[in-house]
Every structure is written in structure tokens, then in C-alpha cells.
Amino acid sequence: MNFEKAKKFIEESERPLVIYHIDSDGICSAVLMLKYLKFFEKSASLIPSSPQKMMQRSFYKGLPESDLIIIVDIPADEFEDKINEYLEGKKIIIFDHHKITKDMNSENIVHFHPTFFGIEKYCPASKLIFDVLSKFDERIKEFDWIACIGIIGDSGAEEWREFIERTLIRCRYSKGREGPKYDTVLGEIERMIGSARSHSGERGAEYAIEVLLNSKDIEDFLKKSKKLKKWKEEVEMYIEDMEIEFHMRKEYFKELGLAFFEMEKPKYRIGSPLATILSKKYPHLTIVIIVKKDKIALVNMRRGDGKVDVAELVKKALKGIENSSGGGHRNAAGAQLPSEYINEFKENIIQILSK
């Protein structure tokens, strides 16, 4: 791997830019990079994004001037043509863990992905960037707790249980009786970080980054997280209400192990956490949450037992639907499409699963 090349890119940069996904994994990945830059008294511009945004020309036109672009938790290889066109000649470092379509390593690009290290088990971006940065500078290891938050948020707790439990022991906290995700201080913090996005979108993600970045350890974070705790309580109460709505209004196809649930302009951005919670309770069900927002529909799809590859399912279901995009992992995927095609999208899913 191009460790030295990436390290040189970072250390020589005067105006780095970090583009990050605004879920817990992306937020924690961005914070770990910012912590590393702090070692060299460097700061970076931050831009929240998504695969859908990075497929649009307007996104690149609005980027601040920089001499190094660091992309975390976003599958940049899926829109290589856009990067080659709009970021031509720029130095770029990519940290991603989504299903890979192409190795983008080149003269100006360093691409880190778990498969390049022979890692076969599920590896969130925050664990990947933690391991790489630890090779650059061992001081980053004191922020293992931040990597654990991202791992938990991206449903990688079981795969990396030993790492999380070792971190909890180092930080003098309980390992938890029900596994590292559910009843530990790190699980509680992840729910705060995730709720920041659900409550206030990109503004919430930016605030979560600010608190994490200015916290030296878990105890310090907890002292500074009053607003995040409040947001978490509000979001979780709303999710409980929507769980009841799900049971009342879902479209259920028992023979297919499939359930659709549509929401229109919900109070908070809860499509992803609601889908995750439901998939834990009903692992043998393919959960499809569709949030209608004006002319756009946002989709969150989950399958807890992994028997249906929802990343493949969502891509197949979007074929032929204009101005749509989607992807993800075997157990969790997302999509965006024009609202006028919701029924066609749902019918495509039914037909694919029927076969």
C-alpha cells in the first residue's frame, strides 16, 4: 500500500479539504483525520456529502480551494469519471469500505480499501482510517474510542467486538453485558452522534464533529455533550412513535419477507435509524423505508440476516429509473429517486424478490 505516499501528501498539504459522509461512520472518520492534522498544527476545510451529491457537477464547482482532497466513507470509485473530470490533477486520498468497483490508485490518487489489505470481514471506514493513521503516527491510538463509535454506528460491532472491548477496558469502562453496541458508553455516544444528523442534518453533523474534535477522551466528551443528549432524547421519542406507525401502515408481503413503509416530510431525518432498528427486531424481513420530500424520495433498505443483498437489490430496482442513484452494503443500502417513480421502484423490488 502507498502509506508513505499518502503520509507525504498530508504532511506537505497547506490547504487540505475533507469530504465526508454525514452518518456516524463518516463523522468519526473525518474527526480522526482532523485529529491527525492537529499533530502538525494543520486545519482542514470540511464538506459534508453523499454519493448522490458527488455525482453532480454543481458539487465540484462549489468546493473551496485546496491542494489535497481527502474523501472518507464515500465510494469514490463509483463516480470515477466525475473525479477525473472535475478534480483533474488534484492530489486525492480515499478511505472507503463500500463494495468496490475499481482500484483508483494512480500518480495523484491514493485509494485505501479493506480488500487491499486482505480484510474479508466487514470493516467500517472509521476502523480503516484508524488503522492507516496509526501506521503514520502512534499518537492517533489514543482516539481508538472515536473509531469504535464509527464502527458501532455502521453495524460493525460484532465483527470488531474484541477491538471495542479492548478499547473500553483501556478507557476504564464496562464492556457491556449485551455486546459492545447496546449497553456501553460507546453505544450511548454513537446514538448521540447519529441523532445529531437525524435532528439537524448537515448542521447537526458539523456540531457533532466540533464536540468530538474538542474532546480529549470519553469523559471529556460526555461533559460537553448536553445538546447532543437533548437531541438524542427528542429523536428517539419520535422514532418510537414511527415504530408504532410502521406496524399500523406498512405494506407487508409475508411470502417475500418484505415490508414497505412510506413517510412524507417527517419531523426528523429518521429513515436510516428507523430502518436499522426495525431490521434488528425483524432480521428475516427486508425493510424498505421511503421518505417523500417534495419531488425526491429517499430510500433506506435493511436486511438483518443478510440473506438478501440489499445493495444489489436496490441497484437492480433502480434500473431504468431516471435521475436515480443507490448502493451500500449487503445488510444496509440507500437510494434517491424522483418521487414519481416510487411505485415503479416498489414493483421492481417485488418482482426481483419473487424470482
The amino acid at 11: E
Max CA-CA distance within the chain?
Answer: 58
In a domain, 107, yes or no: yes
Residue 179, pLDDT score: 56
The reply to whether 23 and 154 lie within a common domain is yes
Residue 52, pLDDT score: 82
The reply to whether 220 and 257 lie within a common domain is no
Residue 355, pLDDT score: 87
- Radius of gyration (C-alpha) of the chain in whole angstroms: 20
The reply to whether 54 and 152 lie within a common domain is yes
**Grid cell locating 201:** 442534518
**Grid cell locating 329:** 452494503
Q: What is the CATH number of the domain that holds 46?
A: 3.90.1640.30
Residue 180, pLDDT score: 53
The reply to whether 202 and 286 lie within a common domain is no
Count structural domains, the chain: 2
Residue 99, pLDDT score: 86
In a domain, 237, yes or no: no
Residue 66, pLDDT score: 95
Task: Name the pTM for this structure.
Answer: 0.91
Per-residue pLDDT tens digits for 110-119: 999 999 999 9
Which residues in the chain land under pLDDT 70?
A: 1, 176-182
Domain that holds residue 266: 250-354
The reply to whether 298 and 265 lie within a common domain is yes
Residue 182, pLDDT score: 59
Residue 213, pLDDT score: 97
The reply to whether 80 and 40 lie within a common domain is yes
In a domain, 233, yes or no: no
Residue 271, pLDDT score: 95
Last residue of a domain, one of 228, 260, 291: 228
In a domain, 192, yes or no: yes
In a domain, 97, yes or no: yes
